[in-house]
Amino acid sequence: MKLYFIDDDEAPHIYHRLMAEESGISEDQIENFYEVDQAIAKLEGQINAQDLSQWPSYIFVDINMPYKSGYDFVKEVEALIPQELMPVIYFVSSTKNPSDIQKVEAIDIIKGFETKFLESEFFKSLDFQKN
């Protein structure tokens, strides 16, 4: 199982890595991206190479990022990834803005909307059987 974290801020990456590790997820299962394009490039590369060994089961993406937002990421992922390969995607933000909540509810491929920071209990609740 692979977890992708997309956030322009270093602190959430460090914190989430620690919490994920506390929940039993190993360091090599975590990939950190600081902008949307990096993550898209990684996903696209795997599809083109037809090698899904590093394919993520979960993607945690921040909403407010410079250049491209979490919503831009979702748009590109919808166009890039076939439904059967679609990872579970969570939006993670410091604030649960009501307008964001409404928008997220309308996007099918978003599993949920969580506020920062995610604790180890959250990672423990993830379905580890998912590949």
Partner 1 sequence: MFDYRVKFDQSGKIIYSNAPMIPAQHDQIDRYLPLFYDIEALEDFDLKALRPYECHIGNKKYFFHLDWSFHEIDNMRFYELLIEDRTSSYNRLQKERSKKNTLRLEQDYLIDRLNTEVEEKNEARSDNHELKTILEHTREGIIYQNQMTGEIVKANHKALELFSCQKVEELKSIQHIHFNGNPREEYDPKLFVHLWNKERKREAKEEVIKLNDHAQKEKYFSVRVVEEQALKLESLNIIFVSDITNEYQSKLELKNKNKELLQYIESNVQLEQFAHVASHDLRAPIITIKSFSNLLKEKCADRLNDNESKYLNIIKENADQMFSLVSDLLDYAQINSQKIAFKKTNLQFLLEGVIDSFRSIANQTNVTIEIVNRLPEIVVDDVKLKRVFQNLLSNAIKFADPTKKSFVKIDFAELDDKYEFMICDNGIGMKEGSVDIFQPYTKLNLQTEYEGNGMGLAICKNIIKQHKGEIYYKSTYGEGSRFVFSIPKEL
For position 70 contacting partner 1 by CB under 8 A, the verdict is no
Count other C-beta atoms under 10 Å from residue 125's C-beta: 9
Which residue from 17, 42, 111, 116 is in contact with partner 1, where contact means CB under 8 A? 116
User: Which distant-in-sequence residues (6+ apart) come within 8 Å of 57 by Cβ?
Assistant: 1, 2, 3, 87, 88, 127, 130, 131
For position 130 contacting partner 1 by CB under 8 A, the verdict is no
Do the beta carbons of residue 46 and residue 54 sit within 8 Å? yes
The pair phi, psi for residue 68, each rounded to 5°, is: -125, 135
2/43 Cα distance (integer angstroms): 12
Which residue from 1, 13, 15, 21 is in contact with partner 1, where contact means CB under 8 A? 15
Which residue from 97, 103, 107, 128 is in contact with partner 1, where contact means CB under 8 A? 97
For position 34 contacting partner 1 by CB under 8 A, the verdict is no
Which residue from 94, 112, 121, 130 is in contact with partner 1, where contact means CB under 8 A? 94
CB of 86 to partner 1, least distance (A): 28
Residues that bind partner 1 (CB under 8 A): 9, 11-12, 15, 18, 94-95, 97-98, 115-117
